[in-house]
Structure 1
Amino acid sequence: MASTKQKGSNAWIYWMIGIILAGAILIVVLDRQLGGDEGSSSNGETELSYENQPFIGEESAPVEIVEFGDYLCPHCKTFEESLVPRIKEAFVDTGKAKFYFMNYPVIGQGSERAAQFAEAVYQELGKDTFWEFHKHLFELQPEDASLVDYNKDFFKQALQDVVDDEANIEKVVTAYDEGMKDAVQTDKNMAQSLGVQSTPTTIVNGKVFEGETFADLEKRVEEAMNESE
């Protein structure tokens, strides 16, 4: 017959094994709830939805280039001012690609508000006005984002700089007040499913672009054109 001491030791071992198993099960469940591989295809690619997203370029262009960006991100401002004109000249104006901007606000509450207000501009006034406002928001970005209170009054004034019609401005403000969280969350979900961790991140035909130079991007776009044929 086992001693009382042995019984207590065995019970402790069974108890620890139970805790370890329960922990393993919990990790699996949490991984599934937080996304895991959900949304990814079997070859590791993720399907982006371009529906109702602002773009420049011809609808028939064979390649989709996406920037995931944040209006408070200084690197995104540099991307907007230095690289977007080159992307437009090399790929958009030549009919090779469409260029999209999708939101990935990561810096803070101001980023989230900016993304939502820009979405409201797009939804209410269309893509042409959106791109004007988009560019102007980056122009207004200070060297120190903490110096600006990115609130509704700030965005309204920014919109007044590019839109004359007060009725249209109020339409945007009303849409913003009613909520654009779902539209922004859609963009964030796609970014996260692709593994985007920083801004700006460039996507070419559904794949994260990992090159380092503009020549690398040109090569990737040519490859994407061939893939789409």
Structure 2
Amino acid sequence: MERTRRSLLAAGATVGVVGVAGCLGGGSGDGGQSLDTGSYDCSLSEPADPDLGYRPALGDPDADVVVRAFEDFTCGHCATYNLDHFPTIREEYVDPGRIRYEHWDFPIPVNETWAVPVASAARGVGARHGDEAFFEFAEAAYESQGSYSGEALGAAAETAGADPCAVLADAEFSPYEEASQDDKSEGRDAGVQGTPAIFVNGDPVQGSYAAESVGEAIDAEL
């Protein structure tokens, strides 16, 4: 059921950056809504002192090969990439320490209501609990794509071992919006127009975000 829903979400997007199939936006949704915390009994207040310098990353920080993935948490293609292709990249290249893998936000946004709040919530998890928690939260969030809610984000927080109320506060007040927009500006300077956009040592992966294509680009650098 989940895989079918993700496929439907991805179906309407067209060509992104440098020939890579991906999401181009056309933002839907109503921004500025107050977050419904669902079953979580949270009194939301603006988080203090967010770590705006935090960069979600995995692998060897000194690796010769650096992979940057520009993503929008409301892009169906980004969900497909993260849930169906990134696990292979992680197993073959990240976990053995062969590369450094970095997440960069690029809120197009596909959905104006959720793109920045989910990105902010994810960054908050990583800043407080570390990179593994960030990627665990991101995976759980992508699994809920298309039905984002305070309830879904709280559940994703629990999956990552994070405080649901802190995550919901980050989603409500988006303290990491500036960091996400800075990522987006850097992506635009690199030529990103759609997501996901994958770069290997500064060069865009051509033609596809499939694990095979990304792996070939990494192997060429290794």
TM over 0.5: yes
Q: Structure 1 residues 75 and 153, CA, compared in 2 at 3 Å: closer, same or farther? A: same
Q: How many Å apart are 1:134 and its aligned residue?
A: 0.7
The answer to whether the 8 A contact 2:86-2:211 is kept is no
Q: Deviations over 1:29-52 (max 9, x none)?
A: xxxxxxxxxxxxxxxxxxxxxx63
The answer to whether the 8 A contact 1:211-1:217 is kept is no
Structure 1: 5+ residue runs without aligned partners? 1-50
* Residue in 2 that maps onto 1:117: 121
Q: How many Å apart are 1:66 and its aligned residue?
A: 1.5
Match of 2:144 among 140, 144, 147: 140
Match of 1:221 among 208, 215, 218: 218
Query: Partners in 2 of 1:224 and 1:67 — Cα distance?
Result: 16
* Residue in 1 that maps onto 2:178: 182
Match of 2:99 among 97, 100, 106: 97
Query: Partners in 1 of 2:101 and 2:217 — Cα distance?
Result: 14
Match of 1:58 among 60, 65, 71: 60
2:73 matches 1:71: yes
Larger radius of gyration: 1
2:200 matches 1:204: yes
Match of 2:82 among 80, 83, 91: 80
Query: Partners in 1 of 2:185 and 2:167 — Cα distance?
Result: 24
Which structure dedicates a bigger proportion of its chain to helix? 1
Q: Highest relative contact order (Cα 8 Å, sep 6+), 1 or 2? A: 2
The answer to whether the 8 A contact 1:119-1:184 is kept is no
Q: Structure 1 residues 88 and 154, CA, compared in 2 at 3 Å: closer, same or farther? A: closer
Query: Partners in 1 of 2:177 and 2:216 — Cα distance?
Result: 36
Structure 2: 5+ residue runs without aligned partners? 1-52
Query: Partners in 1 of 2:95 and 2:159 — Cα distance?
Result: 27
Query: Partners in 1 of 2:152 and 2:211 — Cα distance?
Result: 34
Q: How many Å apart are 1:158 and its aligned residue?
A: 2.7
Match of 1:191 among 172, 187, 191: 187
Query: Partners in 2 of 1:64 and 1:156 — Cα distance?
Result: 31
Q: Which runs of 4+ in 1 moved over 3 A?
A: 150-154, 168-176, 211-219
Q: How many Å apart are 1:94 and its aligned residue?
A: 3.4
The answer to whether the 8 A contact 2:82-2:139 is kept is yes
Q: Structure 1 residues 136 and 178, CA, compared in 2 at 3 Å: closer, same or farther? A: closer
Q: Secondary structure of the equivalent of 1:198?
A: coil
Q: Structure 1 residues 224 and 72, CA, compared in 2 at 3 Å: closer, same or farther? A: same
Q: How many Å apart are 1:90 and its aligned residue?
A: 2.3
The answer to whether the 8 A contact 2:78-2:195 is kept is yes
Q: How many Å apart are 1:182 and its aligned residue?
A: 1.1
Q: Structure 1 residues 218 and 160, CA, compared in 2 at 3 Å: closer, same or farther? A: closer
Q: How many Å apart are 1:153 and its aligned residue?
A: 5.0
* Residue in 1 that maps onto 2:10: none
Q: Give, as a single letter, the amino acid of the residue that structure 2 aligns with 1:122.
A: G
How many residues of Structure 1 are paired with residues of Structure 2 in the alignment?
166
Identity %: 25
The answer to whether the 8 A contact 1:67-1:201 is kept is yes
RMSD value, Cα: 2.4
- What is the TM-score normalised by the length of structure 1? 0.63
- What is the TM-score normalised by the length of structure 2? 0.65
Query: Partners in 2 of 1:219 and 1:172 — Cα distance?
Result: 36
Q: Give, as a single letter, the amino acid of the residue that structure 2 aligns with 1:108.
A: N
Q: Structure 1 residues 90 and 154, CA, compared in 2 at 3 Å: closer, same or farther? A: closer
